[in-house]
Amino acid sequence: MAVETLFSKIIQGEIPADIVFQDDLVTAFRDINPAAPTHILIVPNKIIPTAADVLPEDEQAMGRLFTVARKLAEQEGIDQSGYRLVVNCKEDGRQEVMHLHMHLYGGRDLGSPLLRNAK
Ligand code: 5GP
C-alpha cells in the first residue's frame, strides 16, 4: 500500500480543496498558493510519488493528465493565449508534495521557463 499523501486526502475528500475536475484516473484542483491567474494541479488518483516512479501500467493516467489539462485550459479561457504544464521531480526539481502532479499555469505571460541565473 502506498503511503497517504496530502493530495490523496484531497482526492478522497478528507481535506477540502477547490476541485475543478475528477474522474476515475485523475483529480484536478486549484493550487492553494497560485503563481498565476490560473494555477491548477492535475493529480493521478493512484499514489505515484514522483515522475521517477511512473510504470508502464500508469500510461493511461499519464495521458489523462494531458487531456484534462487541455480541457481545463479551454474552460479557463487560456487555450488561445497559451499556458505552461510543469511536473517537478524530487529535490533538484523542487518537488514539495511527493504525489506526482502536473501544474497548469496560465492567464499571464509566464516568462522564461528556466531560472537561468540560478547556480
Ligand atoms: P510541487 O513543488 O510539489 O511541484 O508543488 C506543490 C504545490 O502544491 C505547490 O504549488 C503548493 O502551493 C500546492 N499545495 C501545497 N499544499 C496544498 C494544499 O493543501 N492544497 C492545495 N490546493 N494546494 C497545495
Reduce the DSSP state of residue 56 to 3 states and report it.
Answer: helix
Contact at 8 Å (CB) between 36 and 110? yes
- State how far the Cα of 61 lies from the Cα of 94, in Å rounded to an integer: 23
- Radius of gyration, alpha carbons of the chain: 14
For the structural domain made of 6-106, what CATH number should be given?
A: 3.30.428.10
Would the CB of 33 count as within 6 Å of ligand 1? yes
**Residues contacting 83, CB < 8 A, separation 6+:** 38, 69, 73, 104, 105, 106, 107, 110
Domain spans of the chain? 6-106
Per-residue pLDDT of the chain (119 residues; tens, 9 = 90+): 578 999 999 999 999 999 999 999 999 999 999 999 999 999 999 999 999 999 999 999 999 999 999 999 999 999 999 999 999 999 999 999 999 999 999 999 999 887 665 55
pTM of structure: 0.96
Would the CB of 85 count as within 6 Å of ligand 1? no
Q: Which atom of ligand 1 is nearest to the CA of 33?
A: 12
